[in-house]
Amino acid sequence: MIKKGKGQVRAFTLGRTLGELTLHVKVAPFPGFHEEETTVTGTPTLAIRDRSGGARGVEAPVVAQVRSVTIPARLGFERIWRDEIPVTLAKSQVAVGNALRVALERETKQARAVVSRAGTLGRVLA
């Protein structure tokens, strides 16, 4: 599993066989506001509160009342994801290798069991 930004962006693979192998990418809703510039508008105003050190459950004091706030693009998720693509591909290749190995081991085990049963059955019938 790959985690970036305190778990806000995660990527992982699932599946035990090649046919089941999938890559999953999850992004928490919060980073979307910070990936692209977004303007949040209040009705009628937004109350900006100071939550820098208040106790949980205690309403923080209002610092400003504004009509709208523009959240600048500053997260850089796309850049982070481009940097993670090689790592994700490498991990996916390992997962594919593991899935193939498991599938081949199962098929070999089943084939050996069939051959063993056929040999035992032949001796019993003879």
Q: What is the pLDDT of residues 60-116, one digit of tens each?
A: 888 888 998 888 887 777 777 778 888 878 888 888 888 889 989 999 998 888 888
Q: What is the pTM of this model?
A: 0.38
**Contact status, residue 75 vs residue 5, Cβ threshold 8 Å:** yes
Q: What's the mean pLDDT when you consider all of the chain?
A: 78
Rg of the chain on CA atoms, in Å: 27
Give the tokens for residue 99.
């899935």
Predicted local confidence at residue 116, as pLDDT: 83
Per DSSP, the residues of 50-91 read: --SSPPTTSPPPEEEEEEEEEEPP---HHHHHHHHHHHHHHH
pLDDT tens across 16-71, in order? 776 787 877 777 766 666 777 788 888 888 888 887 766 666 778 888 889 988 88
Q: What count of other Cβ atoms lies within 10 Å of the Cβ of residue 77?
A: 18
